Amino acid sequence: MNQAKLPIVGVICDQEIIGPHAFHIAGDKYLQALIKVSNCLPVLIPALADEKIINQLMTQLDGVLLTGGYSMVDPLQYQDEVAKTGTKLDPARDNTSIPLVIKAVEQGLPVLGICRGFQEMNVAFGGSLHQELHQHAQFFEHRENKDASLDEQYSDSHKVKLTANGKLAAVLGESSIEVNSLHTQGVDRLANNLLIEAIAEDGLVEAFSVVSASTFAMAVQWHPEWKVSHNPHSTKLFHAFGQACLAKQITRESHG
C-alpha cells in the first residue's frame, strides 16, 4: 500500500433472501479488485433506498462501484412492460443505486459501473433496456452457458471496438479488445447524458462514459473484475478508477 489512508469506495449491495432471512451482500471478486488493483478500501452500501443515508455517504466516499448481480433492473424503472413471471428482480437495489449514481456524479465522485451497474447507470440517466437480448435477432448470444465452468463462463467471448479518442480507449491504450459476456439485458436507448465508449460487433453498446461528469464516470457491460490481475485491460481500468478515487480523497480531505 502506497499511502497510509486508502480512498473509500462505496460498493452497492444486492438484497438477497438466504434461508428465511434478508441479507445485503456484495461479490468478493469486486471487493478484491478494489483492494488489490484500485488500492482502495471498499465499504458496502446497503440497499435501503434511504435518502438520508445516501446524502451522508456522499460526504464520506471517494468513489462508487456499481457491481454486477443476478437480478435484472426492473423494467418499470424505465417505463417498459412488466417483467415476465419468474424474473429475478431487486427493487431495493434499484431504488438505492439509481438515485445514488445521480448524486455521485453531481458531487464529483468517481463512478465505475459493471454489467448490472452499467444497466443501472443507463436507466438512472433516462435510458432504457432490452429485457431479453436473445429475443432480438440482430444480437448474438450474450448470455453465459450456466452449465460450463466459471472459467469458461468468464472467458473472452466477443470483441468490442473502442471509440477513437474516447476516454476508455485512452485508459486501455487499445482500439479494440476481447471481453467476456454474461448478461441478458442490454442497452436499448442510450441516455442523452452518456457517450459511447465501446460497441460490440452486433452493434450493442458495451461501454459508456457520463458526459456531465467532472471526473472518472464510466461503465462496462462485461466483467473486468474477474481475475482482474490476469487481464492487463482489466488491471488498467481498475487502476484508473483507483487513481481517480485517490484524487477525490486528496481534494475531499484538503477541504475537510
pLDDT of residue 256: 65
User: For the CA atoms of 69, 71, 75, 76, what is the dihedral angle to 10 degrees?
Assistant: -110
Give Cα 179 distance to the centre of its chain.
15
pLDDT in tens, the chain (256 residues): 445 799 999 999 999 999 999 999 999 999 999 999 999 999 999 999 999 999 999 999 999 999 999 999 999 999 888 999 999 999 999 999 999 999 999 999 999 999 999 999 999 999 999 988 878 878 887 888 888 899 889 888 899 999 999 999 999 999 999 999 989 889 999 999 999 999 999 999 999 999 999 999 999 999 999 999 999 999 999 999 999 999 999 998 888 6
Catalytic residues, by residue number, are 115, 223, 225
In sequence order, what DSSP letters do the residues of the chain get, joined into one string? --SSSPPEEEEEPEEEEETTEEEEE--HHHHHHIIIII--EEEEE-S---HHHHHHHHTT-SEEEE---SSBPPGGGGT-PPPPTT--B-HHHHHHHHHHHHHHHHTT--EEEETHHHHHHHHHTT--EES-GGGSTTS---S--TTS-HHHHTS--EEEEEPTT-HHHHHHT-SEEEE----S-EESS--TTEEEEEEETTS-EEEEEETT-SS-EEEESS-TTTTGGG-HHHHHHHHHHHHHHHHHHHHHHHT-
pLDDT of residue 111: 98
Query: In the numeric block, which cell numbers belong to residue 235?
Result: 488491471
Angle, vertex CA 110, rays to CA 104 and CA 115, nearest 5: 90
pLDDT of residue 254: 86
pLDDT of residue 25: 97
Please say whether the dihedral angle defined by the alpha carbons of residues 244, 245, 251 and 254, taken in this order, is positive or negative: negative
Can you tell me the distance from the alpha carbon of 99 to that of 110, in angstroms, rounded to the nearest whole number? 15
